[in-house]
Chains A and B, each alone.
Chain A
Amino acid sequence: MHLHTRSISICLAIFIAFTGTALAAGPENEKCMACHGSAEIKSSSIRRVYIDPARFASTTHAIVGCTSCHDRVSSGHPGDSYIPPKATCGECHGPVHDEYAKSVHAPKARCNDCHNPHDARLPASMSGEDINRTCARCHDTRKTIQSHAKWLPQADLHIDSLLCITCHTGSKDYVIIMSIESRLPGSGTEFKTAGYEELAGLTRGEDIRRLIDLNGDNIVSLAELRAFNHQLRGKNMRLWGMMTPEIVTHSYQILNNRWDCSFCHASGPKAMQKSFISFPEKNGGFTRLSVEKGAILDILYGTPDFYMLGTTRSTALNIIGALIVAAGLSFPVAHGFFRFLTRKNRKESNHEA
């Protein structure tokens, strides 16, 4: 019951915070951040207690407030030897806790091993690269590619274009998230998700979403996507698509149907209608902008570098291909027909053709 009252009071606090009646956690946080967010702490030997103020402030946990998770900070803090308690995630995230506890991964990692409670974000506010980095803390990417290559063709390509959680948790629906990646000229082949500053430089301070969403209607049309892709040519930038679960679960498992390639590759073009572009924000988060339905399927320019075998095929090309094959087939059929009708001619003249 303790758990429940806590969640309810938190929800209330958030409700109040969001409606702006009172910024419940604001002043409290600032008191703590005066030290924990300061540059001195950041550069001191106790850097582990440093919390990035901008990043923290942009998370929902900032509304929850330091003291909701660290209640009973002593008045002598930090001079006394009293260590403030730390809430456990399950106290407020009961359902996630229960789901995760049942998964095969529960004995291998705690919530805090994958999440930084001071920089916790919704999956929608993270780039695919960030989400995969969560796993890479323990699962070396190169080794993961090697172990998956035993059964997964082009494992390197898969690990580049999929989140680990796309295969290892049980979401039902998937979306394609595209992020803008860049690399320094002459820096080899590694592309990285472009940061806010970098893109802001390109728009000269304007909302960076305008880089792609030219008319500012908060939806990216195929024409806008095309124009952007065109602009990227030769700029050491690219739009990188990743297949992402629509809803993140914590049911870590090895799903049998992920062995079967057709789970993804035979889902047909209908499964690939939804896509988003993920833009970096100032504080380390990301926002998503919807892309016109079906853009992923466009032959040439929608997403030139994202192709999912068997699924993102283009109907226009299929028709052209079918015409080519039909043209080839029509020759034997027509010629054979006349050949049959005129078979006597060749016997009579006794000339072998």
Chain B
Amino acid sequence: MKHKEMMYMTPLPVRIWHWLNAFGIVTLCITGIQIRFPDYINIFGAYKAAIRLHNTAGVVVSISYMLWLVYYLIVARSLIKLYVPTVKDLTSGIFRQAYFYFLAYFVGQPNPHHSTPESKFNPMQKAAYLVIMFILLPLVIASGVLLMYVAPLRELLMLLGGIKILVGTHFLLACCFTAFLFVHIYLATLGHTPLAHFKPMWNGWEEETVEDDAPEKTTEITKPEIGISSTEKQG
């Protein structure tokens, strides 16, 4: 027998951050294309409109990044636990997960990772999100801020090797985000139904089918009728 259980996977601040961030980054990518290739691409009419929109989206992404950081670091205090891969993740987990994505998945074997609020991400997700959230996003935000205030921050720019290096870095980072987006959105459809991973990003709750007689190793599954989030419990 099987029954359905609900897990509160994604607390509200994380969802707010995520969708602000997602719309922000998509806007940045599209406006960014027009800003770099204005002679070929004109989506927003005036060039100035694209610049203004790009700057605004950049500010939104920066602020929402702060929200994410403050929430996970200070409020939930689960940043390290959720995002930093363990030694085991790195020595075996990642390979197991990669084996799953590239082979096991196709022959119909189950996902070796089981998401719970305490261990949301599989080792590959951890590694990818860690790089994105701790390296690429801060870098793209920092280079963006410098590019928004070129004249006042000229000294800093020169220390970093000049505006060309900065623009080049910013552009390549943007390309990485675009590449990440394709992979990220696609992988998010690999749940038990294509929308299964999107639902918790929208309302917080993940629905899960479990065997009645096979209790989960992880204990802190929150039932919907109890209605408290696991992060509150951790607090």
Contact with A along B209-224 (1 / 0, CB 8 A): 1000000000000000
Q: Size of chain A's interface in residues, with CB distance under 8 A? A: 50
- Say how far A340's CB is from chain B's closest CB, in angstroms: 10
Q: Is the CB of A310 within 8 A of B36?
A: yes
Number of cross-chain contacts by CB at 8 Å: 137
- Say how far A244's CB is from chain B's closest CB, in angstroms: 19
A192 within 8 A of B: no
- For chain B, which range describes its interface: under 10, 10 to 19, 20 to 34, or 35 or more residues? 35 or more
User: Which A residues from 328 to 353 make CB contacts under 8 A with B?
Assistant: 328-329, 331-332, 335-336, 338-339, 341-342, 345-349, 351-353
Q: Is the CB of A328 within 8 A of B178?
A: yes
The answer to whether A305 and B158 touch (CB under 8 A), given A157-B150, A325-B175, is: yes
Report B-chain residues with C-beta under 8 Å of the C-beta of A266.
Answer: 38-39, 47
- Say how far A239's CB is from chain B's closest CB, in angstroms: 10
Report B-chain residues with C-beta under 8 Å of the C-beta of A347.
Answer: 108
Segment of A63-71, A198-206, A217-225, A314-322 in the binding face: A314-322
A268 within 8 A of B: yes
User: Which B residues from 176 to 193 make CB contacts under 8 A with A?
Assistant: 176, 178-183, 185-186, 190-192
* Assembled-state Cα–Cα distance A299/B171 (Å): 12
A15 within 8 A of B: no
> Which one of B107, B168, B178 contacts A342 once the chains associate, using CB atoms below 8 Å?
B107
A327 within 8 A of B: yes
Contact with B along A142-174 (1 / 0, CB 8 A): 000000000001101100100000000000000
Segment of B56-64, B87-95, B159-167, B226-234 in the binding face: B159-167
- Say how far B201's CB is from chain A's closest CB, in angstroms: 18
Chain A minimum-CB-distance residue to B190: A353
The answer to whether A299 and B108 touch (CB under 8 A), given A154-B151, A262-B47, is: no
The answer to whether A321 and B172 touch (CB under 8 A), given A154-B150, A310-B36, A352-B209, is: yes
Report A-chain residues with C-beta under 8 Å of the C-beta of B176.
Answer: 324
A50 within 8 A of B: no
Chain B minimum-CB-distance residue to A270: B39
Q: Which residues of A contact B (CB under 8 A)?
A: 153-154, 156-157, 160, 189, 238, 260-262, 265-268, 299-300, 303-307, 309-310, 313-314, 317, 320-322, 324-325, 327-329, 331-332, 335-336, 338-339, 341-342, 345-349, 351-353
